[in-house]
Amino acid sequence: MDWMLLNTICSIYLGVPYVPQAPPAWVEAGPTETDLWITRLTYEFVVDRSACDKCQAPFGRRLRLTESRNGSGTWWITVGARCRGWRRHRFTALVTEWGDGLRFGEWV
């Protein structure tokens, strides 16, 4: 958002009307390969050492990572897993960008 603040302040001091511009390419870049790797590694560790809250069965080994973005430049990663019980309960967690790092959500 620094680019927007800079454009607004410059237009106020120069007396030129502010013309909204498209955000730079780096704003909507989304998660990097490193973000995806850290997310996968973290949740593989959690899945390996956790059990289903509903039936106490261990989790399956397969994780699904889905990237999502909205128009304002924010992004998140949805992590999905299932337990190995006969009902195969589904669990999801959200990972979002928080400051300069990642914020890992709980299983829901």
Question: pLDDT per residue over 92-102, tens digit each?
Answer: 999 998 877 88
- Residue 52's CB is within 10 A of a number of other CB atoms, namely 19
The per-residue pLDDT for range 37-69, each reduced to its tens digit, is 999 999 999 999 999 999 999 998 899 999 988
Question: What is residue 1's predicted lDDT score, i.e. its pLDDT?
Answer: 42
Question: What is residue 27's predicted lDDT score, i.e. its pLDDT?
Answer: 53
Residues 6+ apart with CB under 8 A from 37: none
Mean pLDDT of the chain: 82
Check pLDDT > 80 for residue 73. Answer: no
Question: What is residue 33's predicted lDDT score, i.e. its pLDDT?
Answer: 87
**Residue ranges of the alpha helices (H) in 15-56?**
33-48
- CB-based contact 69:75 (threshold 8 Å): yes
Question: What is residue 63's predicted lDDT score, i.e. its pLDDT?
Answer: 92
Check pLDDT > 50 for residue 30. Answer: yes
